[in-house]
Structures are given as structure tokens and as C-alpha cells.
Structure 1
Amino acid sequence: MPVLRGAVTFSRFRTEPSKEAPSDVKRWLTKGLKSHAFEPIDRRSEDERAAGFVELENAEASDFSTSNLFYGEYALFSFRIDTLKVPASMMKAELDKWTSAFTKENSRPPARAEKNKQKLELKQLLRQRAVPRTSVLDVTWNLKTQQVQIWAASRKTVDEISVALEGALAVKVIGITPASMAQRAGIDDKALGPTAELIGMDLPATASLEDSHGEG
């Protein structure tokens, strides 16, 4: 939980409403987060991944009550990602064990259809036993400045959370980087390139300096 303790990499953004700005920001934010709240993976399905918003200090909750979401001028919440995958090595080991037992009992190896059917049953059984891998990434939203910080190091994860925020709240999430700030200020991209001094290049002597040394 980097927002409340410790330090970690984060990315900064500003948000702009796609439509008219909401009159009640807190109500709008709560409703939006609930609409894209985290839902656990259905183990009966083929889904291997689930993602959505949860409360900051309780990754199992998505009620987003006022006391658990708003802290002064900030809204603090998290984005949870669960992955449930049956390791291929485990599946192979179980299927090999079943094949050996089937062959011994029936004096023949299983037919392809029989093996495929057992593979599906084994996958479902192993999914029921598997423990999902969970990642929880924090998000801070300044209600006054409309600036957002996403506390994640992975660019792919940051992009996923940005897209989720845009979908949940109908806003544009714009990165706060030197390039984006320069673009808004009307500064040419070429002006952002490294200077000769920065990259350690020797600067050519000016003619006036050469002349003054020559005359001395």
C-alpha cells in the first residue's frame, strides 16, 4: 500500500471530463468506481484474469463508502488484478497419471476424444484448487486539481488503469510529462532535445575569442 506507507514509482496524470463537469464530484466518483468494481474470477468459466477497482485498505471490498474513499481533498482507492492459471506442467503430470491408469485398466491407451474429455475435467478440477495471483495498485485523485497518480511501475499496468478510469468516469486521462506540458504550452518538440552541454559535446570557440587571443 504505497500511498500510506513506503515509496514506489508512480505516474502522474490530469483528467478532463469528456462531457459536462459533474456537479457533485464525490457522488460521481463513487458511482463510477462501483460501476467498474472488481469481481472475482468465475472458476467455472474459461477466464484467467479479472480486474477492477477496490477500496484502498481492503482489496476484498468495493462499497466505496465516504469514510473509506475520501481523505481530505483526495480520493484514495486501488485497482486489483487477479490471475488464475493452471500450470502446464501440473496439467501434464495429472493427465499422464490418468492416461497410465486408464491404459492399465482397459488394456489400451485412451482415444483422443476420451483424453480431451478428461483434460477438460482435469482443468476444471485444478482451477477449483488453484490460488489466484493478486496484484493491488494504488490510485490517488486530487479532487481540487483533478490530478491523478497511479502507483505502479509497469507501463502496461499504468495504461490499463488509465483506460479503466476513462471507462468508469467518462474522462480523458492525460499524462503529465515534459512533452505533454510543452505541447500544451505551444513549445516545439525540437526545443526539448538535449543541449550540447548536457551530453558533453565540445562547443566551438567563437570568432571573437579567437581574434582576441590572436591579437594578444
Structure 2
Amino acid sequence: MGILANTVSICHFQVQGELPAKEELYSWTLNRLAGNRFNPIDQGSEELSVGWVHLDDPRSSEFDTPAACWRDHYLMFTLRRDRRAVPSAILKAHLDREYERWLGENPGYAKVPKQEKETLKEAVHATLLSQTLPTPSTYDAVWDTQTGMLTFSSLSPKVIELFEEEFKKTFEGLRLSAFHPYARAESVLDESNRALLAQANRSKSDNFLELIKENQWLGVDFMLWLMYQTMNDSSEYSINQQGILSDGERFVAYVDDRVVLLGAGENGAQKITVAGPQDHFNEVRSALLNRKQITEATLHLETSEDEHWKMTLKGELFHFASFKSPAVKLEKDSTTDEAMEREAVFFERMVLLEKGTQLFNSLFATFLKLRLGQGWGEHEGQINKWLNVCSNCNSPLV
């Protein structure tokens, strides 16, 4: 699903590097995208084509006007990848027929020579490719030039790697920095708490892979804390991050529906998935007592305006899978044309995505201030006491 859909899986990046002057930014972007635009392969036999298209019309790859990729302070574009592939079973069947034909024309051979096999395979593969329509895939990106934050609509490691490569090739001098849990933690804390975070940092370098690996405690402790809060608190919090929602505005956050835990087992890593509405999370608590750790959970966020966001939070990287926002609601009249409607949908969608992210960041900041403060030891003791009450998790807990 694309980024304009009500449900989409997203990850975040920070754009690093020096941008052109503001008055040159959009013309520079148009030129860069046009230079690496998508070229169709429908009429040919090429196996692969990768390039940029319009976010709201993946059939269009002409970046000749600002409207193609520019909405206020947002730059928006879509990575399109078309790929042809011949199923192995079909290729084998056609090759077997070609081998039989060749042997019939060359009765002196008992089997097809290796070099001839390679030649026939290339010819058959090329013929079948020309008869096969390419399969398109699209991945949306929205770049907030005010904050430097880029939102990308895929969580596939291979797709993310492809996007990073194409972005770097297109926008020379810029690079994408993964917005992993430690980077997000730095962004949501004030100066004094950032100093405490630096003290708690278990990585010995600024390499992002090491920052992720050595600071997995951020996701592990956050998930555990959120589970405890869901079962033992009002689950009500306050907005404490800048954004569309007002500072101090109340909201509700809780875990429900699905929790994934991971831990060591007799035969290696053991994964446990607990699905469905939960009353007491007895199975989860039992797994936690057996040294399992929560790696994914379905998180709900609700405001006083009855707006509801839902996501599957990936604990290691803080990716938002199946991030469902309130539906986009537009008031249209007879004067609204298609271009205006597309623009209105985009801005309304950005508002909803940014609200959901602001809610999550406020929740994460609330946890961090507790986790990095002097009161965490006492709170951790309460969590452990709550878990140990589950010594017989087959019995309902009150």
C-alpha cells in the first residue's frame, strides 16, 4: 500500500548533507529526479528498470513542473521497479523441447554439449522474456525539508537498500541516515536528558549498526514498560513533542491484539506469537518470566478527538508496520478538480501521519525520562513484582 493509503508500513530516515539554497532547491530536485526517472520496459525485453515516478501517479515520470514532486515544504516521489521474470518450470519445459529439437537435428550426439546448452538457454530465456509483461512495484517517499525527515513506505531490507542506493545516486552529496531507536531517542529528549542517554549508550562508536545492536535495551525496556503500563495504569499520557497536536494534550496508548516474543530455546532462538484481544497477558507474562523479550507489539494511540492510530511496532528498529491512521475526510464540491483533490488528500494524509508520529514520540519520550532517571530502579522493581505474581499463569489474575 502507498503512503496515501490509510494503512501503510513506514520507516524513517534523516537526510544528511548540505542542501542547495532554498530558491534553488526545487529546480535542483526536479533536475535530479528527471535525470534518474523511470523508463518503461513494456515494449522491450529488458529484465529490470528502476527509477523515479510521481507519487500520486506512478505512470508518470516527467519531472518538468514543481507540481510533479513539490507540495509546500514537502518533496515527494516514488521509486518504481519493473521486473520481468520467467518461471523456472516454464523455462525448463521450453529448454527440454529445444534440446530434443537440437538432438534430432544432430543425430551424431547423445546429449547436447555444454556450450550449446548455454547458447540455447540464452536464446529461449530472451524469447520468453519478450513475451512476459514486467511486474511493477512502487515505494513512496516523502521528504520534509524543514525537519530533514524522510518517510519511506517499505520495511523490506532489500527494498530499503535499493532506495538508499538510488537516493544517493540521484541526490549527489546527500545520504540517508537510518532513524533507529537511539537516533529517535536523541531527537525527543532535551539537552539534560540527552546527556543521560549518552551515559547509558552501550555503543563504543557512532556506527549506526553498532548503535542499534548495542542499544537494543531501548526497544526491549520500552516494550516491557508499555506492557506493564497497559495492565497497571490509566495508559494516559501528554503530548510533549512539537507538532500539530498541542503541548500537554492528553492521549491514550496501550498494547493489545498481538505480541511477539523472542528468546533462546533448546534448539536455538524461539519465537512466540500471542494474538487476539488480551485480558491479562498471562501467556506473555509467562514468556517474559522465562527470559523471552518482546520484539513486536500492536500499539494503539487515541486522542480526545476520538482519532485512533494503530501499528505493529518493530522493537529493534522502531519501524511502523501496518500503520493505520484515521480515514482521510475531504469536503468536495462541484468546483473541485482532480489536481486540487490530489493535493488536498496529500496534505490531509501528512497531517494524520505526523499526528501519529507525534503521539508515538511523546510516548517514547515519557518512557525515556523515566528510564534514564533515578526512579527507574523502583519502577523496574514494580514491573518484576507484577511479572512474578504470574507464577501460575493458567489461573486468571485480578
TM-score interval (norm. to shorter)? 0.7 to 0.9
Residue 201 of structure 2 corresponds to residue 189 of structure 1: yes
How do residues 119-158 of structure 1 correspond to structure 2 at under 5 angstroms? 119-158=121-160
3-state SS in 2 of match to 1:141? strand
Residue range with higher mean Cα deviation, 130-139 or 191-200:
191-200
Unmatched 5+ residue regions in structure 2?
Answer: 188-193, 203-216, 229-287, 289-382, 387-398
Q: Which residue of 2 aligns with 1:59?
A: 58
User: What CA distance in whole angstroms lies between the structure 1 residues aligned with 2:157 and 2:126?
Assistant: 33
Gap change, CA 1:84 and 1:27, over 3 Å in 2: same
| Paired letter, 2:8 | V
Answer yes or no: is the 8 Å Cα contact 2:36–2:52 preserved in 1: yes
| 1:1-216 equivalent positions in 2, closer than 5 A | 2-17=2-17, 20-23=18-21, 24-40=24-40, 48-64=47-63, 65-104=65-104, 106-107=106-107, 109=109, 111-112=112-113, 113-169=115-171, 170-182=173-185, 185-186=194-195, 187=197, 188-189=200-201, 192=218, 194=221, 200-202=383-385
Deviation string, structure 1 residues 53-106 (Cα, Å, up to 9, x no partner) = 111133233222212211222222100112222222112101111222344455
Q: Which has the higher contact order (CA 8 A, sep 6+)?
A: 1
Of stretches 163-172 and 185-194 in structure 1, the one that deviates more from structure 2 is 185-194
Question: Is the contact between residue 11 and residue 158 of structure 1 (CA under 8 Å) also seen in structure 2?
Answer: no
Instruction: Give the C-alpha shift of residue 117 in structure 1.
Output: 2.5
Is the CA contact 2:103–2:112 (under 8 Å) kept in the aligned structure 1?
Answer: no
Paired residue secondary structure (2:29): helix
Cα contact 2:85–2:134 (8 A) shared by 1:
yes
**Matched residue type, 2:178:** G
For 1:171 and 1:88, the matched residues in 2 are separated by 40
Q: What code does the residue aligned with 2:62 have?
A: D
Q: Is contact 2:99–2:112 with CA below 8 Å preserved after alignment? A: no
CA distance in 2, matches of 1:134, 1:61: 13
Q: Deviations over 1:118-173 (max 9, x none)?
A: 22211111111112221101111113222110011213312321232223112131
Structure 2 length-normalised TM: 0.44
Alignment partner of 2:7: what SS? coil
SS across alignment from 1:201:
helix
Considering only CA atoms, is the larger Rg found in Structure 1 or Structure 2?
1
| d(CA) in 2 for partners of 1:33, 1:159 | 18
Aligned 8 A contact 2:54 2:69 in 1: yes
Unpaired stretches in structure 1, ≥5 consecutive residues:
204-216
Deviation at 1:183, TM superposition (A): 5.2
Q: Look up the equivalent residue of 2:174 and give its one-letter code.
A: V
Aligned-residue RMSD, C-alpha: 2.9
Letter in 1 for 2:20: P
What fraction of aligned residue pairs are identical, expressed as a percent? Answer: 22
Query: Structure 1 residues 183, 144: CA separation in 2 closer, same or farther (over 3 Å shift)?
Result: closer
Report how many aligned residue pairs link the two structures: 199
Q: Residues 25 and 91 from structure 1, CA distance in 2 versus in 1: closer, same or farther, beyond 3 angstroms? A: same
| Letter of the 1:8 counterpart | V
Q: What is the rounded CA distance, in whole Å, between the counterparts of 1:87 and 1:98 in structure 2?
A: 17
Question: Is the CA contact 1:84–1:127 (under 8 Å) kept in the aligned structure 2?
Answer: yes
Q: Give TM-score, length-normalised by structure 1.
A: 0.77
Deviation, structure 1 residue 40: 4.1
User: Residues of 2 paired with 1:50 and 1:7: CA distance?
Assistant: 27
Residue pair 1:182, 1:189 contacting (<8 A) in 2 also? no
Retained in 1: the 8 A contact 2:102–2:112?
no
